Structure 1
Amino acid sequence: MKTFHCGSLVPGCQWHTRSDSEAEIVSRAVDHLREAHGETIIRPSIVEQIKERMADDQSAA
Structure 2
Amino acid sequence: MRLFECGTLVPGCDWHTRAEEDAEVTRRAVEHIRTAHQEDIIRESMVEAIKARIRNEPVVTTQA
The TM tier, using the shorter chain, reads over 0.9
Aligned residue runs from structure 1 range 3-18, under 5 A: 3-18=3-18
Q: Within 1, Cα distance between the matches of 2:47 and 2:60? A: 24
Q: Tell me by how many angstroms 1:60 deviates.
A: 6.7
Q: Provide the TM-score with structure 2 as the length reference.
A: 0.89
Residue 40 of structure 1 aligns to a residue in which SS? coil
Per the alignment, residue 59 of structure 1 pairs with 59
More helix as a share of residues: 1
Residue 17 of structure 2 aligns to a residue in which SS? strand
Residue 46 of structure 1 aligns to a residue in which SS? helix
Structure 2 runs not aligned, ≥5 long: none
Q: Tell me by how many angstroms 1:17 deviates.
A: 0.2
Q: Tell me by how many angstroms 1:59 deviates.
A: 3.0
Q: Provide the TM-score with structure 1 as the length reference.
A: 0.93
AA aligned to 1:25 is V
* Larger-Rg structure: 2
Structure 1 runs not aligned, ≥5 long: none
Identity of aligned residues (%): 52
Per the alignment, residue 46 of structure 2 pairs with 46
